[in-house]
């Protein structure tokens, strides 16, 4: 399976409220969510899927109600306008890396495979993990590890990398992992997961792209339209939660003399929805998922 869709029923239940409506799946991937959305649409309904990964194009859905756009969802608004769409009824974004991208060892996303340092979701872009690790200066690397990987020892890690690359280019995931072979075994898995996450976020500019998508989602949603976002780590979830709460990513909104502020979304549920034990047992990658749904006011 290319990708096992997470929180499939819950997300599409929240998303599709009008079978005649226009919807967007920002992260098409294997098409699991999209197929479920299309199955709930009438002949008048329409779904636009976005995916920048060329591999995802092989999963295209042969249905007149569906159009697949080979584009990063940071270009959501302009891409829809090219199809004559200015307003939509709902937007779904299942963030992070697909199962296929993790399982394709040569892409360099997985900590389990020895592969070239790549980690590009869009293989056409020039920046990859090898350039980050070998070309970024020590301060930039430390910031990436600290802010994107939440690694407290970020400065030491950056120092170690800069020291080793003076003698030999760090080419592969194994080359990178060997630099930290001194770590105790019980810390290895979590450490590498955080390290690879940090590098991947930088390579794909994931947090900046997410912010752009959220802002554009508000612009293109009709009043009453729904934004459903499934995130997989606290950095993503924090941005989504704050944006749905007050339309901002940092700081506080301007309040009136009574302490009230103008809300942009109403939350369908105050707390994030998480997969149940059965789904996590069937799909281990669902264990960190959190889903939040907002209705545009």
**Along the chain (297 residues), what's the average pLDDT of each consecutive run of 10 residues?**
85 98 96 97 98 90 97 97 98 85 78 91 94 98 98 96 97 95 91 96 97 98 98 96 93 86 92 96 92 98
Distances (CA, A) of 137 to 52, 178, 226, 228: 28, 20, 42, 37
pLDDT of residue 8: 97
Rounded distance between C-alpha atoms, residue 140 and residue 124, angstroms: 24
Q: Six-digit token pair at 220?
A: 């293109």
CA distance 251 to 261: 13
The kind and range of the H/E element at 244 are helix 234-246
- Cβ burial of 177 (10 Å; 0-12, 13-18, 19+) is middle
Q: What is the CA radius of gyration of the chain?
A: 20
Count of H-run helices and E-run strands, the chain: 12, 7
Segment (H or E) for 278: helix 277-282
pTM for this entry = 0.92
Q: In what helix (H) or strand (E) does residue 231 lie, and over which residues does it extend?
A: strand 221-231
Residue identified by tokens 């949603």 is: 221
Longest dimension (CA), the chain: 63
3-state class (DSSP) for residue 69: strand
Predicted pLDDT of residue 88 = 98
| pLDDT for 2 | 64
Closest listed residue to residue 55, CA positions, set 108, 3, 112: 3
Q: Residue 45: what pLDDT?
A: 98
**pLDDT for res 1:** 57
Judge whether 33 and 11 are in contact, CB under 8 Å: yes
Q: Helices 234-246 and 206-220, interaxial angle, to 10°?
A: 30
């Amino acid at each position: 399976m290319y990708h096992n869709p997470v929180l499939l029923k819950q997300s599409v239940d929240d998303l599709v409220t009008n079978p005649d409506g226009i919807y967007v799946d920002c992260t098409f991937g294997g098409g699991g969510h999209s197929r479920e959305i299309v199955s709930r649409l009438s002949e008048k309904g329409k779904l636009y899927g976005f995916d920048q990964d060329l591999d995802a194009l092989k999963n295209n859905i042969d249905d007149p109600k569906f159009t697949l756009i080979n584009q990063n969802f940071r270009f959501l608004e302009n891409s829809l306008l090219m199809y004559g769409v200015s307003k939509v009824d709902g937007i779904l974004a299942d963030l992070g890396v697909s199962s296929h991208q993790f399982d394709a060892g040569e892409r360099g996303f997985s900590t389990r495979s020895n592969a070239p340092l790549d980690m590009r979701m869009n293989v056409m872009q020039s920046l990859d993990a090898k350039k980050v690790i070998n070309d970024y200066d020590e301060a930039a690397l430390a910031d990436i590890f600290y802010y994107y990987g939440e690694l407290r020892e970020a400065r030491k890690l950056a120092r170690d990398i800069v020291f080793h690359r003076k003698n030999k280019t760090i080419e592969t995931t194994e080359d990178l992992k060997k630099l930290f072979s001194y770590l105790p075994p019980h810390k290895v898995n979590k450490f590498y997961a955080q390290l690879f996450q940090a590098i991947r976020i930088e390579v794909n500019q994931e947090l900046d792209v997410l912010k752009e998508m959220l802002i554009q989602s508000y612009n293109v949603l009709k009043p009453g339209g729904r934004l459903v976002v499934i995130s997989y780590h606290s950095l993503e979830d924090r941005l989504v939660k704050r944006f749905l709460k007050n339309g901002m990513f940092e700081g506080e909104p301007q309040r009136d003399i009574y302490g009230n502020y103008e809300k942009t979304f109403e939350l369908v549920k105050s707390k994030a929805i998480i997969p149940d034990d059965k789904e996590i047992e069937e799909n281990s990658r669902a264990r960190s998922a959190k889903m939040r749904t907002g209705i545009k006011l």
